[in-house]
Amino acid sequence: VHQIGSSGTDPQHPETRAILFDEVVYSRRKIADFLATLAALETITRLLPRGALSDAIRSGLSTNQKREVCLSTKVPSFGGNDVDTPATSSLLLGLLNFAPEEAGDMSGEEIQSASQIKGRFPRLDNKLAYFTKAFDHETAKQQGKIIPESGVDADYDEAIEEVELSYWGTGRNRFQIEVPESAVSQVSRSWELASQRKGFQRFRTAETRDWLTQMTAAEDRKDAALRNIMRRIFGKFSKE
């Protein structure tokens, strides 16, 4: 996740220039890995309050008496001072408890306990909520493509605003003005005949040609924003 996110800020990174024959399959795997990471962090965040995770680990260790004895024994270090083993390590306990300054909804007793343990784990609730709501997870897993919600990615939002009107026609035949043959004599000479069907003729004007140019450019920007949205989402997650 970090590697892909880091490449999003560097247009020369090999990840941004790679041409993948199974891009959808590859993207699905990357999205699945990202969502698994989010789910794991959400689980940890739920278990940390009131020392639930550290208690669970201690409980699991205590089921094996020999292992508990081993893990609760002081181990000599090269500096001459005994070092706590993993079961009693203050660093491990600190990483399994919230930092007291990020108490959130913890009670006074829980805050005091976190202070004594010197909890180090940050509160991630708001940050995880952002990525949970940033895009539809199920759609992304199925399509191998992240389509951000409004307000998540400025480039994509800007491109969407430009592509806000629909006109007759498809592809480069859009923005044609369809005129009944009975009224063709009233059409300006500056109009260019583009196509026709039974009983109608279709024309382009200087203005509609300009519309087509603008629309094509806007759609290209939208596609470019979508191609890079996964890297930007992963990059934001990595920074947070």
**Sign of the torsion formed by the C-alpha atoms of 138, 135, 7 and 124:** negative
Whole-angstrom distance, CA of residue 124 vs CA of residue 240: 9
Residue 231: per-residue pLDDT: 81
Q: Residue 201 is inside which H or E element, if any?
A: strand 200-204
| The CA-based dihedral angle spanning residues 7, 9, 13, 16, taken in that order and rounded to the nearest 10 degrees | 70
Q: Which of 9, 36, 47 is nearest to 124 (CA)?
A: 47
Residue partners of 173: CB distance under 8 A and separation at least 6: 194, 195
Q: Can you give the residue ranges of every domain in the chain?
A: 2-147+231-239
Q: What radius of gyration do the chain's Cα atoms show? A: 30
Per-residue model confidence as pLDDT tens for the chain (240 residues): 656 655 544 555 555 555 555 778 888 999 999 999 999 988 888 777 655 566 665 565 555 544 443 344 444 444 455 544 444 566 666 676 666 655 555 555 555 555 555 666 777 888 899 999 999 999 999 998 899 998 998 888 887 766 543 456 667 777 788 888 888 887 888 888 888 888 888 888 888 888 888 888 888 888 888 878 888 888 888 777
